[in-house]
Amino acid sequence: MKAILKAFLTWAVVLACCFPLGAAETLRIDSNTSLYVSPHEPRPVQKAAQDLASDLQKVFGRPVAIVHNPAKASATTLWIASGTDLPAGVQKPAGWERLHIQAVNHSIPGSPAVHAVVLTGSDMRGTIYAIYQFSQQFLGVDPLCWWTDHQPPHRAEVGIADNLSETQGPTFRYRGFFINDEDLLTGWAPGKKTGISLKVWNRIFETILRLKGNMVCPGTWIFSDEPQIKLAGERGLMITQHHAIPLGLNVARWPKGVPYNYTEHPEILDRAWRDAVREYPPGVEVLWTVGLRGLSDVTYASSDPAVRGNNKALGRLISKAIASQIQIVRSMHPDAQFITNLWQEGARLVQQGDLSIPPEVHKVWPDSGYGYLQDKGEVAVGQGAYYHVAMMNGRANQLTEMVPVERIYSELGRYIKAGATDYLLVNTSDIRPVLMTAKAVLNVGWSGVPTGGVDADKAYYQKWPAGEFGANAAPRVAEVYEDYFKAPAHFGTPIHEYGDQFYHTEARTMMLTYMIDSPLYSLPSQAPKWVQPRIFGTGFPHAPSKEWLNHAIKRAIDQCGSAQPRWDAVWKHALDAEPVVAPARKPFYRSSVLAMIAINRESNQTLFEVASAIKEAQEGKMSEARASAQKALQALDSIQQAEAAAEYGKWKNWYCGDWLTGVYRTKQMVEIFSKFLTDPLTHLPPPILWDGWEAYYHIMQYEGDRSADVN
């Protein structure tokens, strides 16, 4: 009897959630339901309607009719309207990008429809969000479905309360993705005229809209007339630029022999900025980034001796550049909106009082790459955040999740409390490795931080696996996620995790320093000491030294040695949880959970073994050193096996573009290092000129020999 009562109460709760109290009837949506869209609706709304039709077909197993004439609508219809052709009793909400979903139960003049679910909004994007909200809320379509391969459940019909009326609006005004350091996407789906194929760009834009974002920064070093920019506009997204290419000027393609110096030749940069603004496709909305950076995402001071070492002079020059950029844009777009991303030295200059930002420019504070926003408590109303859930700096994460949801909620919650909700750009790198946290950030952008205080992150760790792996798996997989974010070795205060790049950058640097610097260039001599090139991404201002190597060995052995049992425990926990994962979702579990843990666990082991091998070699224990090197190779083999298992279906060759973390490069170097331990005269790798920049050679290859227009 108790079991029956419990089951009854459970179903009562479910029904109460689906049908509000007082609902007398239910609208039935099935494959016979038409989808009406006025032919006068903007193209982005039409595209979203096509996505909804595709979602309906997945649920009902049959295509639904899209009609553009009210007279051809079915008796029960989904009615999409952002304009004036709304059924009686339905009003568009007021405000910015607010969605509205409402059921109506009366005849619609000029149409056979007597029952309708109306999807509308305060503006074009509000209507688009209503379309995708309906799909998510009532059809069970995962907003990340293209990335998670998560199909909605098949049903004969969907019931909707006939008194349904729901309105939602965003927390942050501007919300979107920065597709940055896009090595995996480029290697997996290269385009002939874009770094990433337009087919995949279209899916990226669809994903942003399903998550109710409204802007995108579509690539790292791009020109302002590239095809994906036009496509983003056709999907209804705004374009924004990242901190290194203000106004869309691709400074990574600055022409050889042309001065890049705003002190001596401001006219050259002014022309280049003006040309970049002109090259944006007509009709595309742009949220303009202003500022002044160097040619390769470094401080501008590195390019101009006149301001080097003089923060006040640098601040004045950046202010001059911003004023000119505003004037250039407003001469073509009088209603333009502006932000400045205070990345790295920008934040410091503002906090020191050396850089003044005009009031019409919204300040955007960046995080550290580890999820800690860098405003030092100075964030204020009208400002915003540039946030990373993936960060290519040679030390953070490119292949796996790293930023805990608790940190996301804490930092962004602080901005919401301060009223700094004008802008939220999340750096996702290649998206697929960081799906869980990317969704968490854009959920905050739309709905704010969930209630629940310190336990809100734990609720998210329950909700994510419940949706992706099934309700039975949720409790156990939630524990896996909680332990996962506690497992890495770390440094600094506040805690900065060892990301998946750290292990490989550090291991390669240690091996190079041992093989090239210490044994071969430490003999007393009158000859000038050979200088090792700076290794990209290591974080060291100078070539690593023997002193650094000894410190790094001790740190790696201590830190990675302490972390390895934690990683082993997480791995075991994840394997034990796999049997309760829904059978259809096991491929995604293996790719998003098991591969993620394996990459970190085995990378941690690799760094530990490399450090141990060097220490043992220094002590003359060559047999033990070679054994440790072999263990490192075994760990790297395990990573590649886990990655291969994650390349199921359409994701075949997903990791072929791993040029930034460079697991394959680490393996190559460990193989050479292992031989070196036996024969110091073995052939060595070249100085790591390919480490890091190799990726951008591939990412930017489609641009050919094109350079920025400065004429």
* pLDDT score of 684: 77
**pLDDT (tens digit per residue) in 205-245:** 999 999 999 999 999 999 999 999 999 999 999 999 999 99
- Cis omega before residue 494 (within 30°)? yes
Q: Is 49 helix (H, G, I), strand (E, B) or coil?
A: helix
Q: Count CB atoms within 10 A of the CB of residue 567.
A: 23
**pLDDT (tens digit per residue) in 494-519:** 999 999 999 999 999 999 889 886 44
Q: What is the mean pLDDT of residues 289-312?
A: 95
For 64-195, where are the E strands, in sequence order?
A: 66-67, 76-80, 99-104, 115-121, 158-161, 165-168, 174-179
* pLDDT score of 511: 93
Q: What is the pTM for the complete model shown?
A: 0.93
* pLDDT score of 685: 67
* pLDDT score of 64: 97
pLDDT band at 687 (very low <50, low <70, confident <90, very high): low
* pLDDT score of 455: 83
Q: Angle, nearest 10°, between helix axes 595-618 and 663-678?
A: 20
**pLDDT (tens digit per residue) in 522-566:** 444 444 444 444 433 344 434 567 889 999 999 999 999 999 999
**Statement: residue 585 has pLDDT above 60:** yes
* pLDDT score of 257: 95
Q: What is the mean pLDDT of residues 574-593?
A: 98
**pLDDT (tens digit per residue) in 452-462:** 766 889 999 99
* pLDDT score of 3: 42
Residue 268 CA, distance from chain mean position: 34
- Do 23-168 and 174-449 show the same overall fold? no
Fold classification of 23-168 (topology level): Chitobiase; domain 2 (3.30.379)
Task: Compute the distance between CA of residue 289 and CA of residue 301 in angstroms, rounded to an integer.
Answer: 19
Q: What is the mean pLDDT of residues 40-63?
A: 97
Instruction: Write down the domain spans for the chain.
Output: 23-168, 174-449, 496-699
Task: Compute the distance between CA of residue 567 and CA of residue 556 in angstroms, rounded to an integer.
Answer: 15
Residue the block writes with tokens 């609006």? 169
**Statement: residue 13 has pLDDT above 60:** no
Cβ atoms of 28 and 75 within 8 Å: the answer is no
Superfamily of domain 174-449: Glycosyl hydrolase family 115 (3.20.20.520)
* pLDDT score of 541: 39
Pick 169 or 39 by higher pLDDT.
169
- Share of residues in the chain with pLDDT > 70 (%): 91
Average pLDDT of the residues of the chain = 92
The alpha-helical segments, DSSP class H, found in 378-529 are 405-418, 435-447, 456-469, 474-486, 500-512, 518-521
- Share of residues in the chain with pLDDT > 90 (%): 87
Query: What phi and psi values does residue 681 have, to the nearest 5 degrees?
Result: -90, 10
* pLDDT score of 691: 56
For residue 320 the two structure tokens come to 């001059």
What number of helices (H) and strands (E) belong to the chain?
22, 18
**pLDDT (tens digit per residue) in 94-123:** 999 999 999 999 999 999 999 999 999 999
Positive or negative: CA dihedral 268, 272, 278, 279: positive
* pLDDT score of 537: 37
**Statement: residue 250 has pLDDT above 70:** yes
Q: What is the mean pLDDT of residues 359-366?
A: 98
**Statement: residue 325 has pLDDT above 80:** yes
